[in-house]
Structure 1
């Protein structure tokens, strides 16, 4: 092992005296029709390089010295656009596509954001390069999102995210423009019961090697989004290189990652992109790093094939599939048992897949149609075997949970620009879902066809004022419930570099299948007629852009939630607090909720080899059951704070040290007191439900560190990195329960210090 590390270090330090170069190329297209813009001007801003696009809208810069660049595109009658954080490395071309929109061509200044929010609604762009650079992301865009204001992770063993006090179940995952089933490995990670969650998991199944820009939405969404109340993680594949073959290999304690991309032929424009990943996180356990005492493995394969045509538009074929498993085995020596879980053998299996086709067809310079047809499926199985402490060979009981989900999706959208001031976007989604649940001997099944048409009108009377008005209609075919949802937003530059934004959205979301089917002995009906959760979002924001690559944004918001399913028999019960739990009560749509707060974000874009984002929020998240009293939700931490930054140091020609850090400080989530006497009598944890979420756990604090060493040559680049999660090894609380083995209440902690070493080669 020592010799291998020595070899890696020596190979990483080799540098050549000549300047290494590579290529930056791409396309400049109309943002509405996706048709080429010949004669557009393209410049690399921190250099003297400039060129114009050809008749196909293509541009090219060869023999560009390796480094970080800003690339700008402009065209008469269109808004000038800048692509920031372009990292050019040895052996890899940078292929960029600009989508320009009509507007004022006068460019007084170039404003570059750490995470752009050019959309009128709260839309943050998460790039592939950011997931590779930031500390402790595990190449997962959802963990990058935890740096944003008002965003927290429900448990750091997983990527289930809490947005403005809304639980992970309110977050929607999308791929290539349509909603898909939960695309995460080990969807039971970080839960009290080891059972599957509706949203989130240990790590995203889709490797960041294939991802283009991921849009993460908070607050009031545009009319083209529906069936969500919290966040939306909208992932898109990037295209493979259509001129040369490129390869990436990464090995680390998380696993092995292999990617390949390139053209199908030298004379065509079609390309492929594929990635295979295999984990061996069991090595961490062998090194003495605790992962909850479980052995975890996963593997996945993803691909994206781009097939452009001359007259029929562009087709893409995409797919992703993965399996994961974690096994907890009881120690054969009872003397080593310390907690209740030690008396169990638990096996959890997770399988997920998605595949589809997209078609983009320009109809004219002002009009285009984009359609997507996709299918996704998910299967989870958990078996828990309870052993007798007096005789470990004897099984006291067995629990079995199974979930099967299949989602068929189709969407089509028409994008039409009336003129430079008016634009219309109209489309529809059609979904068909099949869900099967099994809890021990009880099982249930539901089939749902949902229809969601929408339309948006965008108006830009001047370059300093933009607004959009839209409507979304959601029909949920399982029980015929529906919702008409108006949306609106505006952005006004009241003075140079000073912008005010207003947003409003009426949103709804269907209940989880566990809620509708409600498998449990305490249910007198199966909740099949429950209505949709409904929420009104209001937001007002002010942003000031500084002259030197920085911005400050402050936003206030209010979310009013109604029609929430609550229990008549348990006055403190509300589905707003659900994560993985099965629903065992008869519910009625009489609950309420409200989330309000103020967020602030300071961004300094990566300039002069330094970047920084500091974000924080103060918020209040409450719900009301049939008791009539407002109570803190499970996720009411009251404040969030995250500071993410880094510095690159160039030590020799083409060699770079990178030091990145992140500090997370969150208010503690809420817990329910345990009834010790009742728990001892029942032999399981019994909560004081009348005091639900009245206990606030300790504040969550975690510093993360990433240090890397990049070496660039003409045809290859390497990165040696170490990520250290929770450098301080802080014991952050996850939940409390009554441990039947110790006969007392035990506090379960989240993850401690975890070092992850990796070596990456691109050529």
Structure 2
């Protein structure tokens, strides 16, 4: 009996084990995957995960959304489902032995995911419209700008000063590779017509996601303004919603409040930013004192970008910008009046009350698309309105200058731009485009002057009034075609032709060949070279056809010729090499030479702080640049040094602005341009320790030109700026995450002079900023 009992128990145990094994093999999960409307989702990936998150099995749904996961051990599991165009879904399933365990999972349509993928595709297509082959490129990312001592409160011109070959001048002017201004700004690939020159910056640094400065021998895509292309790609709301608020202030009673907001709603995305502020150092101090007299400034700007994805391959976008600035013109105390005014016995020059207001507005609409493979395009219409008004001190300007001129300039530009890229095959990418612009300038000046005798001496203390108004409409046209040829795996050649025509104060045109070469000498060494023929019209909004004869016999009279300002024509050669020494360290060396006919320059000749173009019959500009960049872990650094020469000979337009002896000298001698600076350098870097970043940037210059016919130059100068940024993270929801920033401008309080009031086309002295302390708080949400 005992033996029979043992046999029976063993049989029962074997039966139980077999039943368990059979039940395990027979357990399964079946289910249905559908969208929120109940429509089946086919080809969805269904993954079975155990309690530790390990994937135990994966299947695909059929065309009816059904799936089956067979031979599943009993227990609790997560069923995770993913499908293109949908947000992932999941469900918890408890598996029982020898059973089919049904589940049903509903997936939500992920429009956001589709929009992000489509936006990225369209951004790549748009950016590919802008070639860089053969040119020199310096890049600024959003994080690079944030790491500057003033971060996004750094004016755009001061950000660009950190690039090689960029020299600083008074009134916020920049000179790139020995050219006076001559910068072209593009936002998201669209050319923004230049505004009337002034003191304020038209674009806010805050809007930048990525900025590239292209110099050298540029591809045929780029024309008119060619010293440098400032290519700005703005922030968008494609990748999510959020924003920030920033308060910044400190020395010179500076206070600035700014903010931005971004987001998306299905295929629609948006980005808006704005800032308002004031300070007592809007224009460079004409004296070496720590605080200028009469220099209060109010500034405001706004920017908006909106896009709508019509379909996965097509997008329409709209953007706009406005900058409104009000400046007091700083005074120099202790000046002695040069003229007599009836009823006025004395006047304190520190009490002069000159002001200037500036308004710049632009808007653009673009249709941009791709076929997903061979063809990309963008068609854009852009409009810009710019105005500047100088208000004199009606008494003081007469006493010190003999002229009190109320100057109003406005300019309206409308342009149409079309760019396209066609990938013919793996070796050839064809790019072509056209551009047309109409511009209408208005000059409305009202001068108060004194009469003079035949020797030019004041003959009466009773002033006269002379109105001076004119207007002009001008046109620009251009077309280009180019081929980017990948000759070998190492060699790329971009060659093309560009045609430009202007019909403004003069009519002229030019056919310009371009060629650029990039050769990967080794995996870490790249050589580039290029040649470009350039055609540069004078800034239409600055050229005036005023009748100078009407000022004869007054203190505003001028003598000499007034030949029309011509477009500059030049040959440009560029050669450079970049070396990736280590993964963290790169070095670049670049040399350039430009030979010009009718070289363009600008100067301030009147009492209003508005520039006037003129030509040198012959011009030559050449130089060399060295760049270094280091980035590893929590340390980054850069150093750029540039040597340059910019010279001209024989002024052959707007000659009445110059003294006869200076004109005679320049007609027979090569002279340095007033913005020539032999050495320009920029150095900076960051070090991050925990949640704190220490940052520094500095500029060094050998001094701009001065004296008779620019035969002298100002002394060397250096400015060092220091900053510290701390990232706070509080659990308190009211505080949350925010950045605090403290910075020191001109940390060593070096007194330096940008201009001394002498030189060709230089109106008044200007000094660099003295030591100043600022702080800011940025709260993101």
| TM superposition score normalised by structure 2 | 0.70
CA shift at 1:290, angstroms? 2.1
Separation of aligned partners in 2, 1:459 and 1:500? 16
Assess, with a 3 A threshold, how the Cα gap between structure 1 residues 485 and 579 changes in structure 2: closer, same or farther: farther
CA distance in 1, matches of 2:750, 2:642: 22
Residues 97-118 of structure 1, C-alpha deviation per residue, up to 9 Å, x if partnerless? Answer: 47779xxxxxxxxxxxxxx997
- 1:327-726 to 2 correspondences below 5 Å: 327-328=328-329, 341-387=349-395, 398-440=404-446, 441-478=467-504, 479-513=506-540, 514-517=542-545, 520=548, 521-522=557-558, 527-528=563-564, 530-564=565-599, 575-578=600-603, 591-605=617-631, 607-625=632-650, 627-650=667-690, 656-672=691-707, 691-712=708-729, 716-726=736-746
Partner-residue secondary structure (3-state), 2:350 = helix
Q: Runs of 5+ in structure 2 lacking a partner?
A: 1-81, 89-115, 284-288, 337-345, 447-466, 549-556, 652-666
1:422-452 Cα distance to aligned partner (Å, 9 max, x none): 1011001111111112333222211111111
Counterpart of 1:131 (choices 134, 145, 159) is 145
1:121 aligns with 2:122: no
Higher helix fraction (1 or 2) = 2
Contact 2:605 / 2:611 at 8 angstroms: preserved in 1? Answer: no
Q: Note the 1:68-79 alignment, pairs <5 A.
A: none
2: CA distance, partners of 1:143 / 1:587: 24
Deviates more, 1:587-596 or 1:622-631: 587-596
Number of residue pairs aligned between Structure 1 and Structure 2 = 597
1:546 deviates by: 2.1
Structure 1: runs of 5 or more not aligned: 1-52, 61-92, 102-115, 184-197, 565-574, 651-655, 673-690, 739-744
* Other-structure match for 1:8: none
Aligned to 2:231: 234
What secondary structure sits across from 1:462 in the alignment? coil
1:208 aligns with 2:228: no
SS of the residue 2:575 aligns to: strand
Q: Structure 2 vs 1, CA of residues 298 and 588 (structure 1 numbering), >3 Å: closer, same or farther?
A: closer
Tell me, in whole angstroms, the C-alpha distance in 2 between the residues paired with 1:414 and 1:251.
42
Deviation readout 1:123-158 (Å, 9 max, x if unpaired) = 222222222211346333332221122111113xx4
Deviations 1:593-618 (A, max 9, x none): 1111111111113x211111111022
Equivalent of 1:173, from 179, 182, 185? Answer: 185
Q: CA deviation at 1:560?
A: 0.9
SS at match of 2:207: coil
Instruction: Determine the C-alpha separation between the residues in 2 that align with 1:243 and 1:141.
Output: 26
Partner of 2:217: 220
Task: Summarize the Cα distance change of 1:546–1:658 in structure 2 as closer, same or farther, 3 Å threshold.
Answer: same
Alignment correspondent of 1:108: none
Structure 1 length-normalised TM = 0.71
Taking a change above 3 Å as real, the CA distance of residues 621 and 341 of structure 1, as seen in their structure-2 partners, is: farther
Q: Is the 8 A contact 1:302 1:319 kept in 2?
A: yes
In structure 2, C-alpha distance between the alignment counterparts of 1:543 and 1:224, rounded to whole Å: 24
C-alpha separation between the residues in 2 aligned to 1:59 and 1:473? 51
CA contact (8 A) 1:178 1:409 kept: no
Shift of 1:588: 9.1
Bigger relative contact order, structure 1 or 2 (CA pairs below 8 A, ≥6 apart):
1
Is the contact between residue 318 and residue 356 of structure 1 (CA under 8 Å) also seen in structure 2? yes
What are the superposed Cα offsets for residues 463-483 of structure 1, whole Å, 9 maximum, x if unpaired?
321110011111102232111
Distance 1:759 1:602 in 2: 31
Alignment-derived partner of residue 270 in structure 2: 272
| CA distance in structure 2 between the partners assigned to 1:429 and 1:586 by the alignment | 26
1:518 Cα deviation from its structure 2 partner: 5.3
1:732 aligns with 2:730: no
Q: Contact between 1:262 and 1:272, CA under 8 Å: does it hold in 2?
A: yes
Match of 1:160 among 142, 163, 173: 173
Deviations 1:513-555 (A, max 9, x none): 3345256443777645x43111211011111112322111111
Distance 2:374 2:135 in 1: 23
Q: Which has the larger radius of gyration?
A: 2
Q: Secondary structure at the match of 2:325?
A: strand
Secondary structure of the equivalent of 1:427?
strand
Question: What secondary structure sits across from 2:206 in the alignment?
Answer: coil
Query: 2:386 touches 2:410 (CA, 8 Å); kept in 1?
Result: yes
**Cα distance in 2 between the residues matched to 1:645 and 1:133:** 8
Distance (whole Å) between structure 2 residues aligned to residue 746 and residue 221 of structure 1: 35
The answer to whether the 8 Å contact 1:666/1:701 transfers is: yes
Q: 1:118 to 1:717 in 2, by over 3 A?
A: farther
Whole-angstrom CA distance in 2 between matches of 1:748 and 1:510: 29
User: Partners of 2:524 and 2:767 in 1: how far apart?
Assistant: 45
Looking at structure 1, the residues matched to 245 and 220 of structure 2 have their Cα atoms a distance apart, in angstroms, of 38
Contact 2:497–2:513 (Cα < 8 Å) also in 1: yes
SS at match of 2:223: coil
Aligned-partner Cα distance in 2 for 1:524–1:614 = 47
Q: 1:750 aligns with which of 768, 772, 777?
A: 768
Q: Which moved more, 1:319-328 or 1:705-714?
A: 705-714
Q: Give me the whole-angstrom Cα distance separating, in 1, the residues matched to 2:727 and 2:243.
A: 18
**Inter-partner Cα distance in structure 2 for 1:598 and 1:54:** 55
Distance 2:575 2:311 in 1: 45
